[in-house]
Amino acid sequence: MNSQPKPKIMQTWLIYALLTVLSWGVYGVILHAARSKMPMGPETPNAGLKAFLFVCIAYAIIGIVAALVLKARGTNWSFTGDSGSGIPLSLVAGIAGALGALTLVLALGAAATPILKGGGGFGVAAAAAVMPIVFAGAPVINTITAMVVHPPEGGWTKLPLPFILGCVLAASGAFLVAKFAPSNTGGAKPGAAAKPH
């Protein structure tokens, strides 16, 4: 008699991964909308940083929730495993994530700025230009970083052609989506000046 467990309809890791896709997928658009609701005029250069300040507050709130979940699970509050403490690398990861959020805010602001003022000229559609680059480029960087930490079997010269092709397609796709992102006028030619609101 076969006693193997029946496969679940969807594995937990995949559900969490898809929830991450959903939350990060709307993140840039919501962040840019928040930035545009901050005081403008002389304060326009600070609008992105003001929005980022509340992103940091949100991170702190989620951190408190994570601590409560740990307490509810009965953790022993030890952060040192067999191979050392996980605290320094966790802090480095947090710094990388926070810097990424900060530079994302700056990128959205620069992309929204009119071309005549040295920006991208995308206006309210800045997220449509910025986010494809972020979300297509990050997986490539992630994979390369993982290969530096854990080199592929046989070395870098043995990388499979489909992997290299995938990296090229991801970069090309990001370029095409960002280059031809719809303008805030809904149909103007790429690079057309945004109408003031």
- The CA-atom distances, in angstroms, between 52 and each of 30, 37, 49 are 12, 13, 5
Tell me the per-residue pLDDT of 19-62, one tens digit each, with 9 for 90 and over: 888 998 888 889 989 998 999 889 988 999 999 999 999 999 99
The model's pTM: 0.74
State the pLDDT at residue 11: 84
Q: Average the pLDDT over 172-187 and give the result.
A: 68
- Produce one character per residue of 175-192: b if its CB has 16 or more CB atoms within 10 Å, e if not: eebbeebebbeeeeeeee
Average pLDDT score, the chain: 83
d(CA 119, CA 40) in angstroms, rounded, equals 16
* Distance (Å, whole) CA 14 – CA 34: 30
pLDDT of residue 134: 87
Quick one: DSSP state of residue 119? S
Helix residue ranges, H only, 73-125: 87-112
Rg for the chain (alpha carbons), in Å? 21
Name the phi and psi angles at 196, rounded to 5. -70, 150
**pLDDT confidence tier of residue 131, bands split at 50, 70 and 90:** confident
What are the boundaries of each domain within the chain?
A: 12-38+46-75+86-179
Q: Point out the least confidently predicted range of 92-106, 159-173, 175-189.
A: 175-189
Percent of the chain surpassing pLDDT 70: 86
Note whether 50 and 38 are within 8 A (CB). Answer: yes
Provide the residue count of the chain: 197
Q: Specify whether the CB–CB gap between 181 and 122 falls below 8 A.
A: yes
Please report the beta strands in the chain, taking only residues with DSSP state E, as ranges in sequence order.
80-81, 84-85
- Tokens at 117, concatenated: 């003022």
> Distance of alpha carbon 75 from its chain centroid, rounded?
30
